[in-house]
Amino acid sequence: MLGSGSGGNSTAFWDSETAFLVDAGFSCKELGSRLGQIGKDIKDFSTVFISHEHVDHIRGASVLGRRVGAEIVCTKSVGIWLNTNCGIKTGSRLEPGTAYQLNGISIAPFVVPHDATQTIGFSIKAGDCKVSIATDLGHMPSALLPRFRDCDALILESNHDLEMLKNGPYPWFLKNRIMGKLGHLSNQDSSRALAKVISPRTKHVTLAHLSQENNLPELALAQAKKTVSERVKRSIKITTASQFEVGEIIKLK
């Protein structure tokens, strides 16, 4: 993960032949710098999949398209919004429920509940490896759980600690929005979802989109580890994504 939080979200995926981004929520310059820290060239990332139109997911998309020539791929409704409001030209369309094929890698989008035009998560399969990612969702409907099962790695939002949010500095309209069904997952809700989807093949969990004001990495980790330890009696690596630092490279094969 190149970074995750309200200031920007982007995750880099690659194998020996193909490289792409999920979201481009940092400036093109910052994305290039962060990719450089892990020995990658931004010019190799020719496709960007956009989860939704909020600025912390699209900030660098326009420049990536113009200067790097990256294809910006999103759903039809988000593409219309991006073109109308930001002048961002998009390419191929994503259809939730239908997998998009990129050089043998399957990227399957699915709709998640969040207050945007249309927000999607992704299940990504390459060979026998599978990763599912959803960084913005207000709750986890039971119908979504199969998307996160049988994964080698999971990237799931763990945005806020409920008590920190309730007692924090945000105005109540914003607190209610965050806690609402179309807002963001709390540590408690995220851990409950993990308990339902962790499988024998799960090796790594990344907790994403942690709030800088209403959460602490140690709180998110403690909640997730407690839940996972009660669910499975084996070691699963759980980490938190940082807004400011590039995460470790997760190798699935």
The b-or-e profile of 22-48 (16+ CB within 10 A means b, else e) is bbbbbebebbbebbeeeebebeebbbb
Confirm if 44 and 34 have CB atoms less than 8 A apart: no
Residue 117 to residues 80, 82, 99, 148, Cα–Cα distance (Å): 10, 10, 20, 23
- Res. 226: pLDDT tops 80: yes
**Each residue's pLDDT tens digit, 173-202:** 999 999 999 999 999 999 999 999 998 899
d(CA 7, CA 56): 6
pLDDT value of residue 154: 98
SS3 190: helix
pLDDT in tens, 113-169: 999 999 999 999 999 999 999 999 999 999 999 999 999 999 999 999 999 999 999
Decide which of 232 and 219 is more confident: 219
Query: Cα angle at 52 between 78 and 247, to 5 degrees?
Result: 150
Stretch 62-73: mean pLDDT = 95
pLDDT of amino acid 209: 98
List, in sequence order, the alpha helices (H) in 59-98.
61-63, 76-86
Cβ proximity of 193 and 145 under 8 Å: yes
Q: Which structural domains are found in the chain, ordered by start?
A: 11-240 (3.60.15.10)
Give the model's confidence band at 234: pLDDT under 50 very low, under 70 low, under 90 confident, else very high.
confident
Cα(137)–Cα(214) distance, integer angstroms: 16
**Structure confidence at residue 243 as a pLDDT band (50, 70, 90):** very high
Supply the pLDDT for residue 2. 98
**Mean of the per-residue pLDDT values for the chain?**
96
What is residue 127's DSSP assignment?
Answer: T
Q: How far apart are CA 157 and CA 161, in angstroms?
A: 12
**Within 10 Å of residue 104's Cβ, how many Cβ atoms?**
11
